[in-house]
Copies of this chain bind each other. A is one copy, B any other.
Amino acid sequence: MSLAKMKRTTIKDLAEMLHISASTVSRALKDHPDISSSVKRRVKEAAETFNYVPNDFAINFRKKSSKVIGLIVPAISMFFIPSIIKGISSVLNKEGYHFFILSSEDSYEAELENIQTCINSRVDGILISLTKETKDFKHFQKIDEMEIPVVIFDKIIPQDIYDSVVFDNEKNAELSAEKLIQQGCQKILAIFGDESLEITQTRKTSFLKKINTSPEIQYKTIFCESPEIVKEQLEVILEQESFDGFFAMSDETLAGLHSCLIKRNLNNTNIKVVAISEGKLPKYLDESYEYEINDGYQMGIIAASRLLIIIHKNNDDQSRSLPKTQYI
Task: Please tell me which one of the listed residues B83, B89, B122, B125 contacts residue A55 in the complex, with CB atoms under 8 A apart.
Answer: B122
Copies of this chain present = 2
Contact assessment for A61 and B64 in the assembled complex, using a CB-CB cutoff below 8 Å: no
Contact assessment for B79 and A85 in the assembled complex, using a CB-CB cutoff below 8 Å: no
Provide the bound-state CA to CA distance between A146 and B82, in Å: 31
Provide the bound-state CA to CA distance between A8 and B120, in Å: 12
* Residues of A64-84 whose CB lies within 8 A of B: 64-66, 68, 76-79, 81-83
Contact assessment for B79 and A3 in the assembled complex, using a CB-CB cutoff below 8 Å: no
**Chain B residues with CB under 8 A of A267:** 262, 267
Provide the bound-state CA to CA distance between A98 and B69, in Å: 12
CB-CB nearest in chain B for A124? B4
Contact assessment for A262 and B268 in the assembled complex, using a CB-CB cutoff below 8 Å: yes
Given A4-B124, A120-B53, decide whether A86 and B78 contact each other with a Cβ distance below 8 A: no
CB distance from A58 to the nearest CB of B (A): 6
CB distance from A196 to the nearest CB of B (A): 23
Given A82-B82, A102-B93, decide whether A57 and B51 contact each other with a Cβ distance below 8 A: no
CB distance from A143 to the nearest CB of B (A): 11
- B-contact bits for A1-13, CB 8 A (1 contact / 0 none): 1111110100000
Contact assessment for A259 and B283 in the assembled complex, using a CB-CB cutoff below 8 Å: yes
CB-CB nearest in chain B for A85? B76
A137 interface residue, CB < 8 Å from B? no
With a 10 A CB-CB cut-off, give which of A4, A265, A281, A311 has the most chain B CB atoms: A4
Interface size, chain A (Cβ < 8 Å): 74
CB-CB nearest in chain B for A125? B4
Q: Interface on chain A toward B: helix, strand, loop, or mixed SS? A: mixed
A158 interface residue, CB < 8 Å from B? no
CB-CB nearest in chain B for A82? B78
A280 interface residue, CB < 8 Å from B? yes
CB distance from A50 to the nearest CB of B (A): 10
With a 10 A CB-CB cut-off, give which of A5, A86, A98, A259 has the most chain B CB atoms: A98
Contact assessment for B310 and A284 in the assembled complex, using a CB-CB cutoff below 8 Å: no
Provide the bound-state CA to CA distance between A268 and B268, in Å: 11
Contact assessment for B89 and A82 in the assembled complex, using a CB-CB cutoff below 8 Å: no
CB distance from A75 to the nearest CB of B (A): 9
* Residues of A1-43 whose CB lies within 8 A of B: 1-6, 8
User: Which 9 pairs from chain A and chain B are nearest by CB?
Assistant: A255-B284, A98-B100, A78-B78, A3-B147, A4-B124, A78-B82, A5-B64, A262-B286, A57-B61
Q: List 6 A-B contacts (CB under 8 A).
A: A4-B148, A5-B65, A78-B83, A86-B103, A101-B101, A263-B288
Known: A4-B125, A54-B120, A57-B60. 16 other contacts (CB 8 A): A2-B124, A4-B311, A55-B122, A57-B57, A57-B66, A57-B122, A76-B82, A76-B86, A78-B83, A78-B280, A85-B101, A100-B100, A256-B284, A259-B284, A259-B285, A259-B286
